[in-house]
């Protein structure tokens, strides 16, 4: 043992000095390198994992949203076409109705017009008859008062009748 | 004598003193260790200031090393819990030993003191691998072995740990189990003796750890010195590469053995045999690599 100590120059002071050196190394490496870096690394891997999970959820949501959007769009299209078809039908109906009404109106107006015309005609005829009667009466009066010849009388009648033809 | 003016340089078995502070001798190995500590502190300070979530080059490199070291340690311990607790110590040992080993091969070895002794002037280099001094390696080995036993006490309890070495449990079982199994009269003393051997084994661990590291690094220095003495140009170059490799391997062996010792200490007596084989395997494999 003595020879080992002397041949290797074993020195408790240097041994302790080296122990202190090593203690410093452990402290520095652990406190300032391994611990914070390990924390950072585990935090980062947790972040990455979370990010990946989030991305997956997002992708799923996107797919779902797309499907929903497609569905909504299809529904909207169908509704729109339904509305359009109904509107067309309504319009058709309205048109027919209006046409019908117009026809009725026209026939009504026409009927009315005919009636008015008839009435006018009748009234005119009546007026003419009245006038004729009064004319005939006045002519007769004239003839009677002036002593008119047969020839004049005939001419008078003729002109009166011609007037009404 | 003629060669009185010639400067001798012998690679001594011990670290040479280069300065005295009071009655405290500063050896060249101690100086190298201080430089190692300074380098590590500098590096860590640099790393700490640039620590951020998106790593820069330095942080990225260190993260890769750390990641690799973690997975290697996991392979050795086989348990993440043990790894996370032992890792700082093992990694510190690795770094400290590695930088110490490599500092010894730097060409600054030619700077030094000339000392006039009884046998003429001898040259004392300022730098000598810190690990080429038994004081350093013994300090590290003591740290490892004492640490592993403390770790065992924390992990499985003081009583179980005590019974690993002084197997009072085995002796006690003579009285409690002798009626059922008479053979225990024979096995219990053997178990007790095995426990005593374990105690010797702990001392052997200190010796094997410290002298393995010291021997390899010191041999490297001697080898480089010898090669330089034969032909100083070109010839030592392949050996320099070899020493770089040896330095790395020895640092790795030391730290992995520390991991193994801690793993064994954390295990209960019943699973002990498995751990023992693990230790032998690792030791054997590392030696194989080292001698390849």
What secondary structure does DSSP assign to chain A, as a single string?
-HHHHHHTT--HHHHHHHHHHHHHHHHHIIIIIIHHHHHHHHHHHHHHHHHHHHHHHHHHHHHHHHHHHHHHHHHHHHHHHHHHHHHHHHHHHHHHHHHHHHHHHHHHHHHHHHHHHHHHHHHHHHHHHHHHHHHHHHHHHHHHHHT--HHHHHHHHHHHHHHH-
**Predicted pLDDT at B137:** 94
Instruction: Answer with the residue of higher pLDDT: A19 or B290.
Output: A19
Q: Which residues contact A90 (CB under 8 A, 6 or more apart)?
A: none
Are the CB atoms for B89 and B265 separated by under 8 Å? no
Token pair recorded at residue B55 = 């790593």
Token pair recorded at residue B54 = 């998106």
Token pair recorded at residue B160 = 């179980």
**Predicted pLDDT at B267:** 83
Residue B233, pLDDT > 80, answer yes
Phi and psi of A104, rounded to 5°?
A: -60, -45
B27-61 pLDDT, tens digit each: 888 989 999 999 999 999 998 888 877 788 888 89
Tell me the domain boundaries of chain A: 2-119
Mean pLDDT of A130-156: 77
**Which residues of B sit within 8 Å Cβ distance of A?**
13-15, 24-25, 27, 29-30, 33-34, 36-37, 40-41, 44-45, 47-48, 51, 53, 59, 62-63, 66-67, 87-89, 91-93, 95-96, 130, 133-136, 138-140, 142-143
Residue A141, pLDDT > 90, answer no
Residue B3: pLDDT band by 50, 70, 90 thresholds?
Answer: very low
Strand ranges (E), chain B = 17-21, 24-27, 112-117, 120-125
pTM beyond 0.80 = no
Instruction: Answer with the residue of higher pLDDT: B269 or A54.
Output: A54
Mean pLDDT of B96-113: 81
Q: Which range has the top average pLDDT, B106-110, B222-226, B253-257? A: B253-257
B121-176 pLDDT, tens digit each: 677 788 888 898 899 999 999 999 999 999 999 988 888 888 888 888 888 888 88
Helix axes B236-266, B134-156, angle to 10 degrees: 20
SS3 call for B62: helix
Mean pLDDT of B198-205: 92
Closest CA–CA distance from residue A81 to any residue of chain B (Å): 56
Nearest CA in chain B to A44: B53
Share of chain A above pLDDT 90, in %: 56
**Predicted pLDDT at B212:** 93
Mean pLDDT of A48-69: 94
Q: Which residues contact B210 (CB under 8 A, 6 or more apart)?
A: B134, B137, B138, B140, B141
Residue A37, pLDDT > 90, answer no
Instruction: Answer with the residue of higher pLDDT: B163 or B289.
Output: B163
Distance CA B252, CA B265 (A): 20
Share of chain B above pLDDT 70, in %: 86
Of A135-139, A146-150, B157-161, B172-176, least confident by mean pLDDT is A146-150
> Is the Cβ pair B139, A44 closer than 8 Å?
no
Are the CB atoms for A89 and A81 separated by under 8 Å? no
**Predicted pLDDT at B1:** 38
Instruction: Answer with the residue of higher pLDDT: B179 or A129.
Output: A129
**Predicted pLDDT at B5:** 54
Distance CA B24, CA B2 (A): 35
Are the CB atoms for B263 and B90 separated by under 8 Å? no
**Predicted pLDDT at A48:** 92
Nearest Cα neighbor of A30 from B86, B258, B235, B281 is B86
Separation of first and last alpha carbons in chain A: 175
Whole-complex ipTM: 0.81
> Is the Cβ pair B30, A18 closer than 8 Å?
yes
Q: Token match 């870096």: residue?
A: A37
Residue A165, pLDDT > 70, answer no
Nearest Cα neighbor of A36 from B53, B107, B77, B185 is B53
B75-94 pLDDT, tens digit each: 998 888 889 899 999 999 99
SS3 call for B50: coil
**Predicted pLDDT at A58:** 94
Of A109-123, B112-126, B185-199, least confident by mean pLDDT is B112-126
Are the CB atoms for B126 and B108 separated by under 8 Å? yes
Q: What is the DSSP letter of B164?
A: H
Instruction: Answer with the residue of higher pLDDT: B116 or B163.
Output: B163
Q: What is the DSSP letter of B18?
A: E
Mutation choice for A interface testing from B139, B146, B207 by most A CBs within 10 A? B139
Of A103-112, A135-144, B198-207, least confident by mean pLDDT is A135-144
Share of chain A above pLDDT 70, in %: 95
Mean pLDDT of A129-135: 86
Are the CB atoms for B188 and B163 separated by under 8 Å? no
**Predicted pLDDT at B2:** 41
- What b/e string do you get for A31-51 counting C-beta neighbours within 10 Å, with b at 16 or more? ebbbeebbebbeeeeeeeeee
Q: What is the mean pLDDT of chain B?
A: 84
Distance CA B69, CA B262 (A): 16
Residue A20, pLDDT > 80, answer yes
Query: H or E element: which one contains B241?
Result: helix B236-266
**Predicted pLDDT at B114:** 72
Token pair recorded at residue A10 = 């074993």
> Is the Cβ pair A37, B63 closer than 8 Å?
yes
**Predicted pLDDT at A93:** 94
Considering only CB atoms, which chain A residues are within 8 Å of B91?
29, 34
């Amino acid at each position: 043992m003595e020879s080992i100590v002397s041949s290797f120059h074993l020195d408790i002071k240097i041994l302790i000095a080296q122990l202190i050196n090593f203690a410093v190394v452990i402290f520095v490496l652990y406190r300032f390198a391994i611990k914070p870096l390990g924390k950072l690394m585990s935090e980062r891997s947790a972040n990455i994992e979370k990010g990946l999970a989030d991305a997956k959820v997002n992708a799923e949501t996107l797919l779902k949203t797309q499907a929903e959007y497609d569905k909504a769009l299809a529904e909207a299209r169908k509704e729109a076409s339904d509305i359009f078809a109904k509107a067309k039908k309504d319009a058709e109906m309205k048109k027919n109705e209006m046409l019908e009404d117009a026809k009725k109106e026209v026939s009504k107006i026409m009927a009315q017009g005919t009636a008015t015309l008839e009435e006018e005609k009748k009234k005119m005829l009546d007026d003419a008859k009245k006038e004729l009667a009064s004319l005939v009466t006045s002519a007769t009066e004239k003839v009677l008062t002036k002593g008119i010849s047969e020839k004049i009388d005939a001419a008078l009648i003729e002109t009166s009748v011609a007037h009404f033809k | 004598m003629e060669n009185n003016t010639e400067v001798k340089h012998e690679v001594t078995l011990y670290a040479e003193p280069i300065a005295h502070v009071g009655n405290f001798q500063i050896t060249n190995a101690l100086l190298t260790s201080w430089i190692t500590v300074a380098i590590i502190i500098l590096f860590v300070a640099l790393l700490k200031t640039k620590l951020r979530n998106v790593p820069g080059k330095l942080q990225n490199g260190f993260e890769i090393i750390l990641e690799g070291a973690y997975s290697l340690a996991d392979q050795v311990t086989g348990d993440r819990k043990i790894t996370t607790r032992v890792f700082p110590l093992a990694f510190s040992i690795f770094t400290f030993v590695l930088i110490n080993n490599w500092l010894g091969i730097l060409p600054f070895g030619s700077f030094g003191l000339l000392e006039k002794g009884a046998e003429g002037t001898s040259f004392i280099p300022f730098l000598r691998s810190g690990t080429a001094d038994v004081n350093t390696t013994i300090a590290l080995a003591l740290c490892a072995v004492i640490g592993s036993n403390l770790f065992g006490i924390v992990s499985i309890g003081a009583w179980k740990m005590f019974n690993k070495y002084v197997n009072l449990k085995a002796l006690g079982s003579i009285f409690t189990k002798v009626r059922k199994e008479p053979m225990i009269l024979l096995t219990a003393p053997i178990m007790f003796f095995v426990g005593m051997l374990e105690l010797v084994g702990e001392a052997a661990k200190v010796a094997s750890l410290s002298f393995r590291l010291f021997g390899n690094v010191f041999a490297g220095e001697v080898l480089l010195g010898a090669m330089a003495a034969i032909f100083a140009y070109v010839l030592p170059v392949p050996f320099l590469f070899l020493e770089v490799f040896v330095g790395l391997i020895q640092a790795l062996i030391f730290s992995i053995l520390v991991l193994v010792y801690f793993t064994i200490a954390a295990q209960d007596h019943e699973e002990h045999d498995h751990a023992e084989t693990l230790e032998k395997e690792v030791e054997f494999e590392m030696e194989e690599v080292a001698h390849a």
